[in-house]
Amino acid sequence: MPRRSRVDPVAIASVGLFGVAAVADLTALGLSSSTISRRVQAGHVRRVLRGVVKEGRDEPTADQRAAAALLYAGPSSVISGGEALRRHGLTDPSPDGRILVLVDEQRQRTSSAFVEIERTERLPRAMTVDGLDLAPLDRAVIDTVRREDQLDVVRGVLTEVVQKGRTTVARLTAELAAGSQRGTALPRRVLREELGVGVHSVAEAWALAVHADSELPPVLWNPRLYDPVTGTYIAEPDAYFPDVGLAWEIDSRRHHFLLPDWDKTLRRRARMQAYGLVVAHTRPSRLRSDRAAVIEELWGSYRLAASRPCPDLLVVAASGTPQST
């Protein structure tokens, strides 16, 4: 193959991805290291990481950073953590953080610049998304939450992926148990004590803590309520006290800000009231700033519900187990 005299987009594109290439691959094309260095010094090519360059002098894009991270880490490496979550269509809790790349435990490679290297004996089989090798979703989720030390951030990551139906609590629990136990205390708590009982959001996790302090009777989280005769679906309240027929709704402003969302909430409340339920509403912010008052109000709603006949409904718990009330 004839030697090329310059590092140009054609050369980089032939061995790279998103305009990023490994220096080793360029030299294998016939480019000399000195030529690459001169082009870097002249500003025609930019060094992104040690041994990785890109065309042009501008800042690397998000795609170029991800491609550079894989090239730097070497063969069989996979992107995990928040970057992988984002590319799986979920929320990266630390979008400006380092890119986590998993490599085989025998590979001698260290973290550098914006790349965090983790050597692992459980290197997952990659899923290729837009040309980039990613860890499977469950692994990416657990690798993300193991690195977070804020409970609400861990809650946010885990509840989003479960609520969107992308995985299950059981699968995440199995992935958590199979890997490194470093940093697993918070995700283990959320999976077992919150998601495991049917909680679907960070606000509902706050409500779970309020309920625990209230000394109120047991509650079901996110059960589905049906007419026991016709099987007509009624609603899925955030929480439900089956002994008295009290529904507890956590009114997130994000879901009720738009008029159609608010209308939907009002229609759901009307359906529940039509079946004899008492419906209590609480704004999420008050679950943290006004806990004592919320508990008092919830007790008031509970006593009101207890003073009425309990509706005869078919209640299907979040676990899928039906029961009658």
Q: What is the pLDDT of residues 163-213, one digit of tens each?
A: 999 999 999 999 999 998 999 999 999 999 999 999 999 999 999 999 999
Mean of the per-residue pLDDT values of the chain: 90
Q: In whole angstroms, what is the distance from residue 110 CA to residue 125 CA?
A: 21
Provide the 8-state DSSP code for 195.
G
Edge to edge, the sheet with strand 78-80 lists 115-120, 99-104, 78-80, 132-134, 127-129
CA 220 to chain centre: 24
Please answer whether residues 70 and 44 qualify as being in contact, where contact means their C-beta atoms are separated by less than 8 angstroms.
Answer: no
Residue 278's φ and ψ, nearest 5 degrees, are -90, 135
pLDDT, tens digit, for every residue of 219-249?
Answer: 999 999 999 999 999 999 999 999 999 999 9
CA dist., res. 319 & res. 101, Å (int) = 35
* Residues paired with residue 102 on neighbouring β-strands, in sequence order: 78, 118
3 state SS of 145: helix
Dist. CA 143–CA 184, nearest whole Å? 10
**pLDDT tops 50 at residue 3:** no
What is the percent of the chain with per-residue pLDDT over 70, rounded to a whole number? 90
User: What distance in Å separates the CA atoms of residue 296 and residue 86, rounded to the nearest whole number?
Assistant: 41
pLDDT of residue 307: 97
DSSP structure string for 293-314: HHHHHHHHHHHHHHTSPPP--E
Q: What is the pLDDT of residues 102-112, one digit of tens each?
A: 999 999 899 99
Structural domains in the chain plus CATH codes: 9-58 (no CATH), 65-196 (no CATH), 202-324 (3.40.960)
- In our burial notation (b when 16+ CB lie closer than 10 A, e otherwise), range 66-90 reads bbbbbbbbbeebbbbbbbbbbbbeb
Residue 1 pLDDT grade (very low, low, confident, very high; cuts 50, 70, 90): very low
Model confidence pLDDT, tens digit, residues 59-97: 999 999 999 999 999 999 999 999 999 999 999 999 988
- pLDDT in the model for residue 257: 46
Instruction: Give Dmax over CA atoms of the chain in angstroms.
Output: 90
Cα gap 295→195, rounded to integer Å: 22
Quick check: 229 and 275 in contact, CB under 8 A? no
Lay out the sheet containing 278-282: strands in order across.
220-221, 239-241, 246-250, 278-282
Confidence of residue 256 (pLDDT cuts 50, 70, 90): very low
* Angle at alpha carbon of residue 267, lines to 262 and 273, rounded to 5°: 125
What is the spatial distance between Cα 110 and Cα 167, in angstroms, rounded to a whole number? Answer: 31
